Structures are given as structure tokens and as C-alpha cells.
């Protein structure tokens, strides 16, 4: 139920359970963990795309029917958290949101670095309608993405937001017709994969630091990572290619 395809330096991970709107079971979470861990360790892969199978849904989060498998609240708390798995990937990850991104599916999208959406996609945090709240980072990640007022609107009502509003709020970077979404995601991923991978990874670390650290600490951290990047073979290659007016050949060293 987790499909992986690799084209050059770009891997596409597809949640493949369209009859259930790509709702995640514990077995799928295990498969997602294995897929992401393997791709993150694969030096040939430099960028990832996460998407859902079928025309209706990216992901609607956990399969609610599976939640009764947990005998206690603590067992539920200790289950593998699929959003953590996505955030643990060191390489750039693009969400290609091809339909409903509800509940944990919204959190999955927020856990990716860049979000592109199909024009018919919708986003919601509907847990409040069922008596609970999200626990995969939605409160923090959504607030950072769309601002406190818009996050409160989504979290307090549980009502969906369409792709146009999501674009206006900054929840997604671009919208595309449904049939153009994956090609656009692959084009973007290929462009990112062509960049020096160490620089791409450190850029990701710096973005995380911008959320987690005070300003002066984040700037100092950025400067340290810049120094590390400057010392790489890829940085030397970039300077040499610029001087020679040729395309650089980055190797991740």
C-alpha cells in the first residue's frame, strides 16, 4: 500500500489505498517508515515527492476504524507517528496534494518542505468534530504556515479550506490542474535534485532552525552551516563552473 518509484535522482512515494481515501493503517505506517528510511539513505536520491493514489485524496489521516486496535490511551500515544517519519527525512520533500488532505493528511502535507496542490484539493483539521485534536504537529506547523488566526479558524471549526484559499494563505506554494500536478512536482523535484545535495540539506536545517531558535541563534547556526558548505568539493565545483561558464557537476562531497 506504499508504492515507491525512482526516476533519476527523484523518488515518488505514493500512499496507495484510494478506496479508503489513502487512510493510513499501522501496516502502511510501517511501510512508509521503511520506504522513507531507505530513500533517505540512498545517495542516488536527492529529492522526494509524497502523494496519494487516485483522483480524490492525498490522505485523510489514520483509518479511524483502526484506532480501536489500541487497548489504552498510552498505547495510542506510543504508536509510530507517520508525520515524524516525514519530518525525519533529511532530503527535500515535496507534497503533491492531489485531493483531500484531512486530519493526519493535512499534517503529512505540513510535514513536507514544499506543498503543491491540485486545483480541487481541500484541506481540513476535522478531528474536533469527532471529539479530539490532531497530534502530528498541526497546531504548530499550521500556525507557522498560515498565521494564528487562520490556524484557529481551521482548528476550531474543522471545516475544509479549498485550494485557492490555501494558496492565498501560504499553505501551498502553487496550484495546478489535477493532470498537471505530478508533472509539476517532478519538474520542481528534478530542479532541486540538480542542486548540490549538502547545500540542500543544510538549507532544510536552517529553515527548521528559523522556527525553533531565537533569531540570533538561528543566524549563528546558519553561518556555521554556510562555513561547512563552503568547505565542500561541491562549493569548489560551483565556483569553478561559474568561472568557466559551464554547468556544474555536483557530487555531494
Q: Give me the active site residues, please.
A: 107, 127
Longest dimension (CA), the chain: 65
CA distances (Å), origin 102, targets 42, 62, 67, 98, 106: 30, 10, 16, 12, 5
Distance of CA 233 to the CA centre of its chain: 28
SS3 content of the chain, % helix, strand, coil (to 5): 55, 15, 30
The helix-helix angle for 215-230 and 197-212 (nearest 10°) equals 170
- Within 8 A by CB and 6+ apart from 136, the residues are 81, 82, 83, 84, 104, 107, 108, 111
Give 164-171 contacts, CB < 8 A, sequence gap 24+.
164/119, 166/117, 166/121, 166/123, 167/117, 169/145, 170/145, 170/146, 171/115, 171/123, 171/142, 171/145, 171/146
Amino acid at each position: 500500500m506504499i508504492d515507491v518509484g525512482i526516476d533519476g535522482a527523484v523518488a515518488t512515494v505514493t500512499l496507495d489505498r484510494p478506496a479508503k481515501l489513502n487512510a493510513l493503517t499501522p501496516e502502511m505506517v510501517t511501510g512508509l517508515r521503511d520506504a522513507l528510511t531507505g530513500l533517505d539513505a540512498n545517495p542516488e536520491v536527492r529529492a522526494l515527492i509524497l502523494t496519494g493514489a487516485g483522483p480524490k485524496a492525498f490522505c485523510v489521516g489514520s483509518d479511524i476504524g483502526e484506532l480501536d486496535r489500541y487497548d489504552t490511551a498510552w498505547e495510542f500515544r506510543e504508536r509510530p507517528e507517520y508525520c515524524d517519519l516525514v519530518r525525519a527525512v533529511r532530503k527535500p520533500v515535496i507534497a503533491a496534494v492531489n485531493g483531500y488532505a484531512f486530519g493526519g493528511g493535512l499534517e503529512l502535507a505540513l510535514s513536507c518542505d514544499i506543498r503543491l496542490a491540485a486545483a480541487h484539493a481541500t484541506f481540513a483539521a476535522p478531528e474536533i468534530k469527532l471529539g479530539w485534536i490532531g497530534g502530528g504537529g498541526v497546531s504548530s506547523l499550521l500556525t507557522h504556515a498560515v498565521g494564528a488566526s487562520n490556524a484557529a479558524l481551521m482548528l476550531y471549526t474543522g471545516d475544509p479550506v479549498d485550494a485557492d484559499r490555501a494558496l492565498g494563505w501560504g499553505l501551498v506554494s502553487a496550484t495546478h490542474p489535477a493532470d498537471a500536478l505530478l508533472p509539476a512536482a517532478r519538474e520542481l523535484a528534478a530542479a532541486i535534485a540538480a542542486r548540490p545535495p549538502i547545500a540542500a540539506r543544510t538549507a532544510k536545517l536552517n529553515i527548521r532552525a528559523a522556527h525553533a531558535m531565537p533569531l540570533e541563534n538561528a543566524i549563528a547556526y546558519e553561518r556555521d552551516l554556510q562555513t561547512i558548505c563552503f568547505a565542500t568539493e561541491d562549493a569548489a565545483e560551483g565556483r569553478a563552473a561559474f568561472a568557466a561558464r559551464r554547468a556544474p557537476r555536483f557530487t555531494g562531497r
